[in-house]
């Protein structure tokens, strides 16, 4: 019997904790009882000052720090996270990655992200279970078909993959769907074959490990409680572990951006709302695509463990309560059994909520602010998981060069006052879009 | 489930209402500059504590009411006609 308190008996060969993960390493570890893995990233305590402090250890904060260290040679960086890594939205989302947008600027930005997802695991040397199984949006009316065709054409013009599936093809690919059921029979689908899913918390762990290996301090359980300025220049942050000085502070606190910005008197075009996710008991493989319902707000995929992972719209009113309420759970369940009646007898095992930045045009913000040295990565609504690789790269670019990344120029904070909002949905200034 | 005490109809489930957003934003005067209008249209205080907000009682009296709700606990402490 293995005693938990006994010192791990490590083979000397495996001592370095930052050693590469590989099939060979897995084989050796299997032979020695998996006792040699060590911690994936160094647990750092904050130093007195850094060149760059990134507030928030979610996907975007970690990807920003990783890009600063590996693409710009800026390693004097700390990521300061108030909880443990992976417990924010990065580990709470329904894991969908895609670039099927309509506006050219959005298509380019999100497709950069998808391209980076395709290289991510090799780059990070971490299995993030990126699975390009395809994302399928269903349409139920002729008008909806026209809209999706227009979107698919916009994507194809920029060299991004998009296909229309006929009714027969949808039926063949997804037998779970009740094609004729209810008031909204399925007429066909809009498929992005390169879309798919990734293991959400592994993305945080993979970035943290690679960033720490490149010299970044990843500080957990340390809350930023204030931002200090001298004149209009940022000088550092107050934390629960003391003051940490910095030349640059970058906020990447998804859902809490307004609260952090309020420390320096900034009011943002953002409201905080709750989105829920649901996971069923594990089933045999029944669904090998990500499917989005077109006659209600509902999307679903099946995880490698067999659980169906699904969600719908936001709960509908401002909230920082990291939980969901029942009316939305009921609405999501109703959509699920309308589209896939066979799910009626499936049990939901887990449910949770995440608090997100809903921006006033449904698009993210990667921007400088009126405070010198203070940068903002925010407003990801409920589509920011797929954007993590590009968001990190673009934010790091902005910090390192003082100039926006060429594919993220449109995401500046000034766009609201200047009348350049990016209204992907065409619905006006409401924080309900994504 | 929120239980919202409508001043006209009594306590009702949130599903009878439609949320209409922050009630603390005020439309600037007609001669205000573009910055003031941008502020009005886009900026939100977005507090994590008490939030004054509009709810429309679509499934009841169909009136708009102002509710003071805690954005973290969801407790409601005051409700008033506009
Ligand atoms: C239920 C749900 C489903 C979703 N589904 C999808 C999806 O399918 N596809 C998709 O692309 N996106 C999805 N999203 C959106 C996506 O998860 C987010 O947009 C994205 O994760 C936000 O960026 P992040 O990873 O940096 O955020 P987070 O992981 O939330 O990171 C922010 C971090 O900041 C920390 N923080 C906050 N305040 C402080 C402070 N004062 N000091 C220190 N640290 C602080 C928080 O603890 C948190 O860890 C979903 C979101 C939710 C909630
Ligand atoms: Zn009423």
What is the tens place of the pLDDT at every residue in A48-88? 999 999 999 999 999 999 999 999 999 999 999 999 999 99
In this prediction the pTM is: 0.95
Q: Which of B5, B22, B1, B3 is nearest to B79 (CA)?
A: B5
Whether domain B3-24+38-80 has CATH 3.30.2270.10: yes
CA-based nearest distance B12→chain A, Å: 14
Cβ contact A170:A87 at 8 Å: no
Q: Tell me the three state secondary structure of residue A301.
A: strand
Tell me how far the alpha carbon of residue A430 lies from the centroid of ligand 2, in angstroms.
24
Model confidence pLDDT, tens digit, residues A183-235:
899 999 999 999 999 999 999 999 999 999 999 999 999 999 999 999 999 99
Q: Which atom of ligand 1 is nearest to the CA of A80?
A: 43
Return the structure tokens found at A355: 């608090």
Residue A198 DSSP label: -
Alpha helices in A130-233 (DSSP H): 142-157, 167-173, 200-213
Set of chain A residues whose Cβ sits within 8 Å of the Cβ of B67 = none
- Is B23 in CB contact (< 8 Å) with chain A? no
ipTM: 0.96
Q: What is the CATH number of domain A42-93+200-270+361-433?
A: 3.50.50.60
Cβ of residue A223 lying under 6 Å from some atom of ligand 1: yes
The pLDDT of A147-161, averaged and rounded, is 97
B1 closest CB neighbour out of A326, A416, A417: A326
Return the structure tokens found at A293: 């319902």
Return the structure tokens found at A376: 């903002």
Q: Which of A82, A105, A47, A104 is nearest to A406 (CA)?
A: A105
Tell me how far the alpha carbon of residue A117 lies from the centroid of ligand 1, in angstroms.
18
Q: How confident is the model at residue A239, as a pLDDT?
A: 98
Nearest-CA residue for atom 9 of ligand 1: A96
What is the spatial distance between Cα B25 and Cα B23, in angstroms, rounded to a whole number? 6
CB contacts < 8 A, A to B, total: 69
Cβ contact B2:B57 at 8 Å: no
Q: Which of A38, A356, A289, A426 is nearest to B46 (CA)?
A: A356
Cβ of residue A160 lying under 6 Å from some atom of ligand 1: no
Nearest-CA residue for atom 41 of ligand 1: A224
Share of chain A above pLDDT 90, in %: 91
Tell me how far the alpha carbon of residue A375 lies from the centroid of ligand 1, in angstroms.
17
What is the spatial distance between Cα A58 and Cα A90, in angstroms, rounded to a whole number? 6
Confidence band, pLDDT 50/70/90 cuts, at residue A434: low
Return the structure tokens found at A327: 């009316």
Set of chain B residues whose Cβ sits within 8 Å of the Cβ of A429 = 41-42
What is the spatial distance between Cα A338 and Cα A342, in angstroms, rounded to a whole number? 9
Where along chain A do its domains lie? Answer: 42-93+200-270+361-433, 132-194+272-359
CA-based nearest distance A8→chain B, Å: 43
Set of chain B residues whose Cβ sits within 8 Å of the Cβ of A269 = 42-44
The pLDDT of A258-268, averaged and rounded, is 97
Q: What is the CATH number of domain A132-194+272-359?
A: 3.30.9.10
For the beta sheet containing B50-56, the strands, ordered from the edge strand earlier in sequence to the opposite edge, are: B18-22, B50-56, B64-70, B76-80
């Amino acid at each position: 019997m293995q005693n938990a308190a006994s010192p791990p008996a490590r083979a000397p060969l495996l001592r370095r904790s930052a050693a590469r993960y590989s099939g060979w390493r897995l084989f050796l570890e299997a032979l020695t009882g998996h006792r040699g893995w060590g911690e994936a990233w160094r647990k750092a305590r904050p130093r007195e000052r850094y060149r760059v402090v990134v507030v928030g250890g979610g996907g975007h904060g970690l990807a920003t720090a990783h890009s600063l260290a590996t693409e710009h040679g800026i390693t004097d960086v700390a990521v300061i996270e108030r909880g443990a890594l992976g417990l924010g939205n990065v580990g709470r989302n329904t894991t969908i990655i895609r670039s099927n947008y309509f506006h050219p600027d959005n298509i380019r930005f999100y497709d950069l992200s998808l391209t980076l997802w395709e290289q991510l695991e090799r780059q990070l040397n971490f299995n993030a279970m990126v699975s390009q199984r395809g994302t399928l949006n269903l349409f139920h009316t002729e008008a909806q078909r026209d809209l999706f065709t227009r979107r698919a054409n916009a994507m194809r013009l920029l060299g991004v993959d998009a296909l229309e599936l006929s009714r027969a093809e949808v039926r063949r690919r997804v037998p779970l769907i009740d094609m004729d059921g209810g008031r909204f029979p399925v007429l066909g689908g809009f498929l992005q074959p390169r879309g798919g899913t990734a293991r959400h918390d592994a993305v945080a762990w993979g970035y943290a490990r690679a960033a720490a290996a490149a010299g970044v301090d990843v500080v957990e359980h340390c809350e930023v409680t204030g931002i200090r300025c001298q004149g209009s220049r940022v000088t550092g942050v107050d934390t629960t572990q003391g003051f940490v000085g910095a030349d640059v502070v970058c906020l990447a606190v998804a859902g809490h951006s307004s609260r952090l910005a309020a420390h320096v008197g900034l009011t943002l075009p953002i409201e905080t709302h709750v989105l829920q996710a649901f996971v069923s008991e594990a089933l045999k493989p029944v669904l090998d695509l990500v499917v989005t319902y077109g006659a209600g707000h509902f999307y679903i995929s099946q995880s490698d463990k067999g659980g169906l992972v699904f969600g719908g719209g936001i709960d509908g009113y401002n909230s920082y309560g990291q939980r969901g309420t029942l009316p939305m759970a009921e609405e999501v369940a109703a959509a699920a059994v309308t589209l896939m009646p066979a799910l009626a007898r499936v049990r939901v095992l887990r449910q949770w909520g995440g608090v997100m930045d809903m921006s006033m045009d449904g698009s993210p913000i990667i921007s400088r602010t009126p405070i010198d040295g203070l940068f903002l990565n925010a407003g990801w609504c409920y589509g920011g998981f797929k954007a993590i690789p590009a968001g990190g790269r673009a934010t790091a670019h902005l910090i390192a060069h003082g100039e926006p990344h060429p594919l993220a120029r449109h995401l500046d904070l000034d766009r609201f006052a200047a009348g350049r909002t990016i209204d992907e949905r065409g619905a006006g200034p409401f924080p309900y879009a994504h | 489930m929120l239980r919202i005490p409508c001043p006209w109809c009594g306590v009702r489930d949130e599903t009878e209402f439609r949320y209409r957003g922050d009630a603390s934003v005020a439309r600037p005067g007609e001669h205000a500059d573009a910055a003031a209008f941008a502020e009005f249209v886009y900026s939100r205080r977005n507090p994590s504590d008490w939030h004054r907000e509009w709810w429309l009682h679509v499934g009841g009296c169909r009136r708009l009411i102002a509710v003071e709700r805690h954005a973290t606990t969801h407790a409601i402490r005051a409700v008033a006609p506009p």
